[in-house]
Structure 1
Amino acid sequence: MYQKILVAVDGSQCAARGLDEAIKLAAAFDAELEIVHIVDPGYEEEGVRARLVAEGKKLLADALASAEARNVRGRVVMVDDIDAPGNIAGQLRRIVERSDAQLVVTGTHGRSGLKSLLMGSVAEEIVRHSAVPVVLVPQRR
């Protein structure tokens, strides 16, 4: 049914739960997993940016190793573009639009009301704008 599943990782527990679910789904459907990490465009200082890129590479390598350990084939994509328009949610939305993934999996903190309005929600942005199904994986409470 699904040949390619996209999941974003950011090092949070919430994203780790999303990755775990995406790996399970990819294994069940014998699908390829596309693992995406976006370096926060809000940090332009060279030393900070270099550290964020290094952390992102390690995060992606670990995520891919987790998938491969469960016999799921995958590939990684890191976005490091301080000149890219929009926030992380907007950048991820554009990646989803360009991808040929048939399913997107993302973790969600489950914020609602004023907290969601003030902090924004990457998951909400993806759900609202995705042309493909989105699986939301809630953070454990």
Structure 2
Amino acid sequence: MYSKILVAIDGSQCGALGLEEAIGVAQACGAELEIVHVIDGGYELAEVRAGLVREGHKLLAQAQARAESRQVRSQAILIDEILAMSDVGNQIQKVVEDSHAQLIVVGTHGRSGISRMLMGSVAESLVRHCSVPVLLVRVPKNGEAAS
């Protein structure tokens, strides 16, 4: 079915749920997993950016260890493009095009209305613009059981 699956992570609960789902799908398909983290925004202070890059590498290493613990092949991709200026969705789309991933998995809070408009939505951008299927993994609302 799928031989290469891309999952975008950001260190949030949302990203962690997306990672778990992507690992499960990759495991079921025998697919390779590409784990992507994008440094968000153009930070001018070198110390701040260096800290974000360190944390990004740490987050990716933890995600790869999680995938490997379930016998899923993976590779980690850190995107540190200062010109991205918070356009995370577009950066992920570029990786998808370059890697020939056949499925994208991304966590989402399922925000709507004003909160989505103010915060933007990487998931929405991917669904609207990517040419490959996008699997959205929603964070359960309080009181809902996670599946």
TM tier, shorter chain?
over 0.9
Give the letter for the 1:52 counterpart: L
When residues 132 and 100 of structure 1 are mapped into structure 2, their CA distance, relative to the original with a 3 A threshold, is same
1:114 Cα deviation from its structure 2 partner = 1.6
Structure-2 residue corresponding to 1:46:
46
Identical amino acids, percent of aligned pairs? 58
1:83 aligned counterpart, secondary structure: helix
Structure-2 residue corresponding to 1:118:
118
Structure-1 residue corresponding to 2:145:
none
TM-score (norm: length of structure 1): 0.95
Q: Which runs of 5+ in 2 are unaligned?
A: 142-147
Residues of 1 paired with 2:64 and 2:9: CA distance?
11
2:71 aligned counterpart, secondary structure: coil
Residues of 1 paired with 2:30 and 2:21: CA distance?
14
More divergent stretch after superposition (30-39 vs 110-119): 110-119
CA RMSD of aligned residues (A): 1.2
Give the letter for the 2:130 counterpart: S
TM-score (norm: length of structure 2): 0.91
1:80 maps onto 2:80 in alignment: yes
Moved over 3 A (4+): none
Whether contact under 8 Å (2:40, 2:84) holds in the other structure is no
Residues of 1 paired with 2:125 and 2:56: CA distance?
22
